[in-house]
């Protein structure tokens, strides 16, 4: 069965729900007990899903949609004008995590799902910062941390894809089994994405 992006969003939510006894990222009612940070994207579909799946609203967690594109955030503010369980943060996520932006202090989930290709210096430069953030957040709250890393295989050959997976494993500090890497086509069908969910402390 071919996965869709929507499937992957739902799977991430199910992972948190099915492992609920092993972390403190959800409260006893199954609502978010931490902030869910994600590249917002047009109309922030993950925020809608968190509402639909009743992880929000919550007293202890929000959706924080980050995007470099101001127009994208405008679509989110318009769509969700009456639902106040999200924050919209304009900027590049990488410097925000490097500089410890206070808006991200309560993050327990980070979804970095970018068109960024899994090759070259650019992704190699970003990975250490995202992993540092995941580790810091895990150490700070002691609640566990979920890091979803989802990048594009556009122009990425087998050798480069292997190299990318090795880099991720090195940063994570352990082997990631093949089954924990998922690939699915982009909406246009022209490219593929490569996703893995990395759990810290659970």
Q: Which is nearer to ligand SAM, 30 or 45 (CB)?
A: 45
Q: Which is nearer to ligand SAM, 26 or 126 (CB)?
A: 126
5-44 mask for ligand SAM (x: CB under 6 A)?
Answer: ----x----------------------------xx-x---
Residue 181 near residue 136 (C-beta atoms within 8 A)? no
- Return the residue of 16, 106, 107, 113 that touches ligand SAM, per CB under 6 A: 113
Rounded to a whole number of angstroms, the minimum distance from the CB of residue 28 to ligand SAM is 27
Which positions from 128 through 167 interact with ligand SAM, judged by CB under 6 A? none
Residues 6 or more apart whose Cβ sits within 8 Å of residue 97: 104, 129, 130, 132, 133
Q: 71-99: buried (b, 16+ CB within 10 Å) or exposed (e) per residue?
A: ebbebbeeebeeeebbebbeeebeebbee
Q: Is residue 68 close enough to count as binding ligand SAM by CB under 6 A?
A: yes
Q: Is residue 74 close enough to count as binding ligand SAM by CB under 6 A?
A: no
Q: Exposed, middle or buried, 153 (CB in 10 Å: 0-12/13-18/19+)?
A: buried
Alpha helices in the chain (DSSP H): 5-18, 45-52, 70-79, 93-98, 120-141, 158-172
CB-nearest residue to ligand SAM: 41
Nearest Cα to Cα of residue 109 among 48, 199, 45: 199
- Return the residue of 12, 32, 33, 46 that touches ligand SAM, per CB under 6 A: 46
Q: Which is nearer to ligand SAM, 76 or 143 (CB)?
A: 76
Residues 6 or more apart whose Cβ sits within 8 Å of residue 74: none
Q: Which is nearer to ligand SAM, 126 or 143 (CB)?
A: 126
- Return the residue of 93, 104, 143, 195 that touches ligand SAM, per CB under 6 A: 93
Q: Which residues bind ligand SAM (CB under 6 A)?
A: 9, 38-39, 41, 45-46, 66-69, 72, 92-94, 113-115
């Amino acid at each position: 069965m071919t996965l869709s992006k929507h499937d992957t969003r739902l799977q991430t939510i199910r992972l948190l729900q099915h492992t609920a006894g092993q972390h403190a990222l959800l409260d006893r009612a199954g609502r978010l007990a931490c902030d869910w940070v994600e590249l917002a994207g047009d109309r922030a579909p993950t925020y809608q899903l968190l509402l639909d799946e009743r992880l929000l609203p919550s007293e202890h967690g929000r959706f924080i949609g980050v995007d470099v594109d101001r127009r994208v955030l405008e679509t989110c503010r318009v769509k969700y004008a009456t639902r106040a369980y999200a924050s919209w943060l304009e900027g590049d996520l990488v410097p925000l995590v490097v500089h410890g932006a206070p808006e991200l202090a309560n993050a327990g989930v980070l979804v970095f799902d970018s068109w960024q290709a899994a090759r070259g210096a650019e992704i190699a430069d970003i990975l250490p910062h995202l992993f540092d953030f995941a580790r810091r957040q895990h150490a700070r709250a002691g609640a566990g941390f979920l890091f979803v890393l989802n990048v594009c295989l556009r122009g990425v050959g087998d050798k480069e894809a292997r190299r990318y997976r090795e880099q991720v494993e090195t940063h994570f500090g352990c082997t990631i089994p093949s089954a924990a890497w998922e690939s699915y086509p982009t909406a246009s069908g022209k490219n593929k994405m490569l996703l893995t969910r990395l759990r810290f402390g659970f």
